[in-house]
Structure 1
């Protein structure tokens, strides 16, 4: 039974760092035997109620909800939020997630997992946006409006009262030279309406979180002055 990050990949959920290099499998505890690791697979033992099981492309796999809970329990906050945002965009049933959390109430790490998953938001459109939101939240920055619509445009993060915008620029955002030109026109229009536009990227979000939070906090303070 595929589980964890392996199941997330089969469900086509976003994964921080990509799919695992070797399959992660779960053996139902009722079958017995011990978990083991080899050079090609990692096998764990776990309780798997029937409601936590499904198939994807013919492969036995844990459901989206159970997969998300396992990722949160075992891979930490960043991975949980990236995967959780993706699952919500896919239409994850929140009532079903609550049932899985209740079923796993005695599992190691479940309390932290519940707290992590409460941070997820379907409005994030990419892993970078998910991590940017998490960094801002953990840095004590006032929560922005996500995917705010300004005129004909939509922006990643906006603090309307401060007329401040933050855009998260991933590698795929400007695949063509024309994309960059259109983005410049868009930013010029936003600035003409009195908005200040900040930008961030993977290196800052992943490695210089404090720098990002300082920049945003400073811009908010300037707007309030």
Structure 2
């Protein structure tokens, strides 16, 4: 890119015609605004690959390329690249982090050179809070692109404390269907609540052929059953999720579903949306109010206490 072209692009960016998310990386403003944070990161990474074909992306960029679920709020405009322990290059002034490793093993994903799934999980597990990193581990297991032993093998080759990664492996569950459910479960675990059963199917005694599958379920010693349902934002607007039904029809179906759950023995039904999960305390308050049991240790499956 010659100097005249650079000046022209900078001028168009100042005038608002172009977005300039990274040095020497530009996109049409309207198009850029239509992208999700994940797609924005991948676009920038692909553009940088053209300038630096030797780069191997790590961390959240690698997780995005591998298609691992995670909260969009983790994206802050920074990128990570893997560099070997012998790297002596100049530190960049750009929002670029270096992840040092003895040897850099690269694989191809989404048109990029990135770290392997096991290494990506370890890097993200060491960097992000437990409740947010859990979604990455859940989705990797759900997609069948990694095994627990492969992640452990990466940890064995490091000289850093991988305790948090081990905790994530302990609680990771392929039955979690999306990042929102993983976040809610992570919050519950971090605040000392008993780990719920996931994706449990309950039979409606009024119609034995009909079953209701719930996101989270707790069975208490006194016979009570607590259910928590995650209400995704698309639940009432995405035609694929609603089956083409109107909002009124969808709400009516939810009421019928709740009635069936109560006939199946459920005593308490909680609902949590993504905004509540992001703010954490609303989720904790609902679990406490419903008397969801807690454990004696936050990192072990100890006997529940009231």
The normalised TM-score by structure 1 is: 0.84
> What is residue 187 of structure 1 aligned with on the other side?
258
Structure 1 Cα separation of the partners of residues 151 and 293 of structure 2:
38
Residues 182 and 202 (structure 1), Cα distance of their counterparts in 2 relative to 1, 3 Å cut? same
Structural mapping, 1:86-105, within 5 Å: 86-91=139-144, 92-104=146-158
Q: Where do 4+ consecutive residues of structure 1 move more than 6 Å?
A: none
The offset of 1:35, in angstroms, is 4.3
Structure 1 Cα separation of the partners of residues 99 and 63 of structure 2:
18
> What is residue 168 of structure 2 aligned with on the other side?
116
> What is residue 195 of structure 2 aligned with on the other side?
143
**8 Å Cα contact 1:54/1:61 also seen in 2:** yes
- The one of 285, 292, 296 equivalent to 1:211 is 285
Residues 80 and 15 (structure 1), Cα distance of their counterparts in 2 relative to 1, 3 Å cut? same
Residues 185 and 205 (structure 1), Cα distance of their counterparts in 2 relative to 1, 3 Å cut? same
> What is residue 274 of structure 2 aligned with on the other side?
202
* 1:114-171 residue CA offsets vs partner (Å, 9 max, x unmatched): 2233221111112221122122223332332111111222101112442221111121
Please identify which structure carries the higher helix content: 1
RMSD: 2.5
**8 Å Cα contact 1:141/1:217 also seen in 2:** no
Residues 54 and 213 (structure 1), Cα distance of their counterparts in 2 relative to 1, 3 Å cut? same
* 1:35-60 residue CA offsets vs partner (Å, 9 max, x unmatched): 4340xx4141411546x431113421
**8 Å Cα contact 1:72/1:117 also seen in 2:** no
**8 Å Cα contact 2:226/2:292 also seen in 1:** no
Structure 2 Cα separation of the partners of residues 36 and 137 of structure 1:
38
More moved, 174-183 vs 72-81: 174-183
> What is residue 46 of structure 2 aligned with on the other side?
none
In structure 2, list runs of 5 or more residues that go unmatched.
1-55, 204-210, 295-305
> What is residue 89 of structure 2 aligned with on the other side?
33
> What is residue 164 of structure 1 aligned with on the other side?
226
Bigger radius of gyration: 2
Q: How many residues align?
A: 216
In structure 1, list runs of 5 or more residues that go unmatched.
none
The normalised TM-score by structure 2 is: 0.63
Structure 1 Cα separation of the partners of residues 90 and 169 of structure 2:
29
Structure 1 Cα separation of the partners of residues 64 and 168 of structure 2:
20
- The one of 96, 100, 109 equivalent to 1:46 is 100
